[in-house]
Amino acid sequence: MKIGILGAGVVGLTSAWWLAEAGHQVVLVDRHSGPAAEASAANGGQLSYAFVAPFASPAMLRKLPGMLLGGDDAVRVSPDFELIGWGLRFLRACTGAEVDRTVAAQLALAASSRAELALLMQEVPLDFGLRTAGKLVLFRDAGEFATARQMDAQVEQQALSPQECLALEPGLRIKARELVGGVYTPSEQVGDCAAFCGQLFARLQNHSNVELRMGTSITKPELTRGRLTAIETDTGRIEAERFVVSFGAGSKAFARACGVSLPIYPMKGHSITVPGDALSHSVTDHSRKIVFAPLSGATRIAGFADFKGVDRGLDPSRIAELRAASAGTIGEGADGDVAPWAGLRPQTPDSRPIIGPSPVDGLYLNTGQGGLGWTLACGSARLLTDLIDGKPPSCPAQPFSVKRFS
Ligand SMILES: Cc1cc2nc3c(=O)[nH]c(=O)nc-3n(C[C@H](O)[C@H](O)[C@H](O)COP(=O)(O)OP(=O)(O)OC[C@H]3O[C@@H](n4cnc5c(N)ncnc54)[C@H](O)[C@@H]3O)c2cc1C
């Protein structure tokens, strides 16, 4: 079958690979000349298979009024019309039952993603600094630490005292008295998402089932009797039997033009990259929502959740905050070039991606991976391929269906 994959971020690239390997003729289309030019370019680098808790939760509900009034340094909100509709769905997702549903679904998808990445690496060894570095999540708040400890049973994890955290990761410059404790997960991995995308893209260039249409902006869908049959682009028309929208934060606009409503909001984050091997483990400062990942001779520091619509520009105040956090945590990054970057996470209200068929014939969805797109990409591509091929899905598909929003 001829399938158009719309978007060459990590989700579109993996979709293209898995579908091409399944025997489909794939056309991969993106407006940039190279892969991973947007949200997949300089993300946090954590392959976070065990930490999949959604953004919406009962605890978040309690914090929300303070957040909206600017009382949380990690989250900034500039309300707009799009955010109001998304926000109402977000409030509905802030229940314990919904959190449990999301965690169960995401753990299954994450486990599949890890297994699929391992299989891919056996077939085509890619060099992107993949390492089982283990992840240490640091807590500065006793209530948050107590909640995190309750989840220990799901994967192999250890609760650590502040002193044990600092002994485990000697690269940390934090004082023990600043922490209430930590949770260490030895099995968690790190890897450079952009390097992975670049290498997978190179393999796609040589794949006999793949046509690349880079530097091509998609202008509008072409629907024939309610079915998506072609797309119009600035370099000509492209026909296919199926299309998969993987436009990240841009998915909503394209889906809307097809008549499909997707509750995806661009949740902006920033990163800096500091040279040197400061850390041997990946570290998350849970209270400050900042992650640190050791990536082949550098440390990636990423974080924040800014709700400001489609704004891809760098915010100098966020970069200054990341520099300060980096200096305080690993003793690096206060000055010098730190490759500042901003990206838009394609965030759904319940933090689960949207994978599978849409209400429009011919249009499939693989988008909305939010803050876990790097972690979930390979599993999402596998699930999408199973659904297109009508095979038993690699993990439960229903939690990721767009129908949950209707
Ligand atoms: C600060 C930050 C830190 C993060 N840290 C982590 C982490 O540690 N671990 C993790 O798992 N995830 C992390 N993420 C999330 C992850 O980066 C994203 O979920 C993932 O990159 C989304 O990939 P995507 O392919 O869906 O979107 P993108 O990478 O944004 O790709 C979408 C593509 O669609 C193309 N496109 C859009 N519209 C059009 C059009 N009209 N015509 C042609 N092309 C178009 C764009 O050019 C782009 O290339 C982080 C994100 C951010 C912002």
| pLDDT digits 0-9 by tens, 300-323 | 999 999 999 999 999 999 999 999
Higher pLDDT, 70 or 87: 87
Residue 154 pLDDT > 70 = no
CATH number, domain of 270, equals 3.50.50.60
Q: How far is the CA of 247 from the centre of ligand 1 (A)?
A: 8
Domain-embedded: residue 169? no
Domain-embedded: residue 27? yes
C-alpha distances out from residue 6 to 17, 142, 258, 262, 273, Å: 13, 44, 13, 16, 29
**What pLDDT digit, counting tens, does each position of 363-405 carry?**
999 999 999 999 999 999 999 999 999 999 999 999 999 999 9
Domain-embedded: residue 140? no
At residue 153 the predicted structure's pLDDT band, cuts being 50, 70 and 90, is: low
Instruction: Determine the Cα angle at 342 with ends 341 and 344, to 5°.
Output: 150
Distance CA 262, CA 39 (A): 18
C-alpha distances out from residue 303 to 193, 291, 364, Å: 16, 6, 30
Total number of domains in the chain: 1
Residue 150 pLDDT > 80 = no
Domain-embedded: residue 336? yes
The pLDDT, as a whole number, for residue 70 is 85
**Does the CB atom of residue 252 touch ligand 1 within 6 A?**
no
The three-state (H, E, C) secondary structure of 107-148, written as one string? HHHHHHHHHHHHHHHHHCCCCCCCECCCEEEEECCHHHHHHH
User: Which residue's CA is minimally distant from atom 2 of ligand 1?
Assistant: 43
Domain-embedded: residue 146? no
Amino acid at 10: V
User: Which residue's CA is minimally distant from atom 14 of ligand 1?
Assistant: 371
Q: How far is the CA of 176 from the centre of ligand 1 (A)?
A: 36
Average pLDDT over residues 8-36: 98
**Does the CB atom of residue 348 touch ligand 1 within 6 A?**
no
Residue 69 pLDDT > 90 = no
**Does the CB atom of residue 11 touch ligand 1 within 6 A?**
yes
| Least reliable range by pLDDT among 121-135, 138-152, 293-307, 312-326 | 138-152
**Does the CB atom of residue 195 touch ligand 1 within 6 A?**
no
Q: How far is the CA of 345 from the centre of ligand 1 (A)?
A: 6
Axis-axis angle for helices 10-21, 373-389 (nearest 10) = 30
Q: How far is the CA of 40 from the centre of ligand 1 (A)?
A: 4
Counting Cα atoms < 13 Å in the Cβ hemisphere of 189 gives 21
Nearest to 16 by CA among 232, 211, 198, 191: 211
Domain-embedded: residue 62? yes
Domain extent at residue 397: 2-134+187-405
Distance CA 130, CA 191 (A): 4
The pLDDT, as a whole number, for residue 155 is 78
**Does the CB atom of residue 369 touch ligand 1 within 6 A?**
yes
Residue 148 pLDDT > 90 = no
Residue 272's φ and ψ, nearest 5 degrees, are: -135, 160
Domain-embedded: residue 143? no
The bridge status of strand 135-139 relative to strand 341-347 is unpaired
Nearest atom within ligand 1 for CA of residue 45: 8
Residue 152 pLDDT > 60 = no
**Does the CB atom of residue 368 touch ligand 1 within 6 A?**
no
**What pLDDT digit, counting tens, does each position of 35-54 carry?**
999 999 999 999 999 999 99
Residue 29's φ and ψ, nearest 5 degrees, are: -125, 130
Average pLDDT over residues 181-210: 97
Sorted by sequence, the CB contacts under 8 Å of residue 11 that are 6+ apart come out as 40, 246, 248, 366, 367, 369, 373, 377, 380, 381
**Does the CB atom of residue 87 touch ligand 1 within 6 A?**
no
Mutation test of ligand 1: which of 347, 369, 380 has the most ligand atoms closer than 8 Å to its C-beta? 369
Domain-embedded: residue 165? no
At residue 328 the predicted structure's pLDDT band, cuts being 50, 70 and 90, is: very high
The DSSP letter of residue 197 is H
| Bridge partners of residue 227, in order along the sequence | 224, 361
Nearest to 281 by CA among 133, 76, 131: 133
Distance CA 141, CA 35 (A): 39
Mean of pLDDT over the chain: 96
Mutation test of ligand 1: which of 30, 46, 75, 238 has the most ligand atoms closer than 8 Å to its C-beta? 30
